[in-house]
A and B are shown apart, each in its own frame.
Chain A
Amino acid sequence: MSEQLLPLDGWHRRLGARMVEFAGYQMPIQYEGIIAEHKWTRESAGLFDVSHMGQLIVTGPATEQGLAALLPTDLAILKEGRPKYSLLLTPEAGIIDDLMITRRGDHFYLVVNGATKHGDIAHLETHLPAGAVLDHMKEQALLALQGPKAVDALARLAPGAAELTFMTGAAFALGGVTCWISRSGYTGEDGFEISLPASEAERIADLILAQPEVKPIGLGARDSLRLEAGLPLYGHDLDLSTTPVEADLVFAISRRRREEGGFPGWARIAAELADGPIRRRVGLIVEGRQPVREGALVLDGEGNEVGKVTSGGFSPSLEAPIAMAYVPTAMAAPGTVVELAQRGRVHRGTVTAMPFVPHRYHRKGAPQ
């Protein structure tokens, strides 16, 4: 697939971003440097362009019933303006993609991964009933403003948005444009995701960047932030061979759906919930300073390969290498020491409860 240009391509280049190919697009990997951008996001506020992600709308009389047959979410109790993390699953409980779904009036709004959006659209179009119509909102851009001071910056620009709590969303005027803003993100910090018309993206991005709390942040820091937050990345920590139970994403399967089923993969999921999965996604803190990266092998006491590292890198917050890996359930308890083989060398990692760095979401009822 040839590389496409995102709405903010020129904006990134003017800001001095180093651009790389990602998900079929040219995207900014970094501006001033990954560690500086990472720390700025944890301390202040970072502006991320995530316009490569797929923004979809499903509408029509059969929408709720059609989506309920494809997702493990209890849509019947999903309230207006409450984004919910969900999964597209195969009949074998493999993960096709992870996504956010929000009820917005007469339709559902879905945000799916950029690298998988075309497959997701094909999957949805194939399996949704005739009374559910999918629209890929190619004319929308998506920004994320993340960090403890994101709320201060956004409150100046979008009156009322600061009233949102974690995992709620609504429409707000921002710079004279109606934007869909949710208090959510992929860094573990408080923050917002802002869906807006691509034609206004540069002007709005400039307005946000003009706030003293805000700096632009590239994909490199997005990856190290989400890794510290223990959040899986599709295509790395999740794929068709991983199930929601193995991936520690049971929270994405609503209670009623766990009992009643009626979505792809339920039989296997129910069995794994009852008997336990054979392997689990875990966090690892690695001894020493050398990062252990995706593809490194997890070894048992006899040197046999029993699992794989699916994400790994250096944590700027902890100043230590951290990783996610799939390990046999018997080795998944926090405190278990495992051996990790990479390029002919063996590293020691300790299974650690995630997140590695505590989440700091602005939950309902928390002090302002």
Chain B
Amino acid sequence: MTVYYTKEHEWIRVEGDTATVGITDFAQGQLGDVVFVEVPEAGKALHKGGEAAVVESVKAASDVYAPVGGTVIEGNQAVVDEPSLVNTDPEGEGWFFKLTLADTHELNDLMNAEQYKAYCESL
């Protein structure tokens, strides 16, 4: 299992050809209280960089872009029903969706935990 990160503050946990995607603790801290989450439905084809989910806090709406392409296996109904999970457990229970990776080479462009930490500190 490997966890990758994007400059858009998403995390991607990869097991085999399956990936789980969410937003990072840094991202939820910046957003503040999350009040609405929309996740993609199973079967939806996502292209890298395309709109995949929506997250809204009290103050602002943000799109979540697909960090890698693939086919959605499951959207997390738990965060739809209880959006505050994104604040309380962003990198655990607050995941957004799972997908089957279309092209594992797309992972090569992403950051590892150490690189992401350095990236956040540079902001």
Whether B32 pairs with A314 at a CB distance below 8 angstroms is no
Please count how many residues in chain B sit with their CB below 8 Å of the partner chain's CB atoms.
12
Query: Which positions 38-80 of chain B face chain A at CB distance < 8 Å?
Result: 38, 54, 56-59, 61
Whether B33 pairs with A290 at a CB distance below 8 angstroms is no
Output the least CB separation between B75 and chain A (Å).
Answer: 15
Among residues of B, the one whose C-beta sits closest to the C-beta of A34 is B58
Query: Please, which residues of chain B bring their CB within 8 A of the CB of A293?
Result: 61
Instruction: Indicate with 1 or 0, residue by residue over A286-305, a CB within 8 angstroms of chain B CB atoms.
Output: 00011101000000000000
* Interface membership of B116, Cβ < 8 A: no
Partner of B59 from A220, A289, A343 at Cβ < 8 Å: A220
Partner of B32 from A220, A289, A291, A343 at Cβ < 8 Å: A220
* Interface membership of A16, Cβ < 8 A: no
Whether A291 pairs with B33 at a CB distance below 8 angstroms is no
Partner of A290 from B56, B58, B59 at Cβ < 8 Å: B56
* Interface membership of B22, Cβ < 8 A: no
Query: Please, which residues of chain B bring their CB within 8 A of the CB of A316?
Result: 58
* Interface membership of A195, Cβ < 8 A: no
* Interface membership of B86, Cβ < 8 A: no
* Interface membership of A313, Cβ < 8 A: yes
Partner of B35 from A30, A220, A289 at Cβ < 8 Å: A289
Whether A290 pairs with B32 at a CB distance below 8 angstroms is no
* Interface membership of A262, Cβ < 8 A: no
B32, B35, B36 — most chain A CB neighbours (10 Å): B35
Bound form: Cα–Cα A152–B83 in Å: 35
* Interface membership of A224, Cβ < 8 A: yes
Please count how many residues in chain A sit with their CB below 8 Å of the partner chain's CB atoms.
16
Whether A34 pairs with B33 at a CB distance below 8 angstroms is yes
Whether B36 pairs with A35 at a CB distance below 8 angstroms is no
Output the least CB separation between A222 and chain B (Å).
Answer: 12
Partner of A289 from B33, B36, B58, B61 at Cβ < 8 Å: B36
Query: Please, which residues of chain A bring their CB within 8 A of the CB of B32?
Result: 30, 33-34, 220
Query: Please, which residues of chain A bring their CB within 8 A of the CB of B61?
Result: 291, 293, 343
Whether B58 pairs with A314 at a CB distance below 8 angstroms is yes
Whether B58 pairs with A224 at a CB distance below 8 angstroms is yes
Among residues of B, the one whose C-beta sits closest to the C-beta of A38 is B58
Query: Which positions 2-56 of chain B face chain A at CB distance < 8 Å?
Result: 32-33, 35-36, 38, 54, 56
Among residues of B, the one whose C-beta sits closest to the C-beta of A219 is B59
Query: Which positions 314-368 of chain A face chain B at CB distance < 8 Å?
Result: 314, 316, 343
Whether A313 pairs with B36 at a CB distance below 8 angstroms is no
Bound form: Cα–Cα A14–B34 in Å: 25
Whether A220 pairs with B36 at a CB distance below 8 angstroms is no
Output the least CB separation between B39 and chain A (Å).
Answer: 13
Among residues of B, the one whose C-beta sits closest to the C-beta of A314 is B35
Query: Please, which residues of chain B bring their CB within 8 A of the CB of A33?
Result: 32-33
Question: 29 A-B contacts, Cβ less than 8 Å apart?
Answer: A29-B59, A30-B32, A34-B33, A34-B57, A34-B58, A34-B59, A35-B33, A35-B35, A36-B33, A220-B59, A224-B58, A289-B35, A289-B36, A289-B83, A290-B36, A290-B38, A290-B54, A290-B56, A291-B35, A291-B36, A291-B56, A291-B58, A291-B61, A293-B61, A313-B58, A313-B59, A314-B56, A314-B58, A316-B58
Q: Which 8 A-B pairs have the closest CB atoms?
A: A314-B35, A35-B33, A34-B58, A290-B36, A289-B36, A34-B33, A33-B33, A314-B58
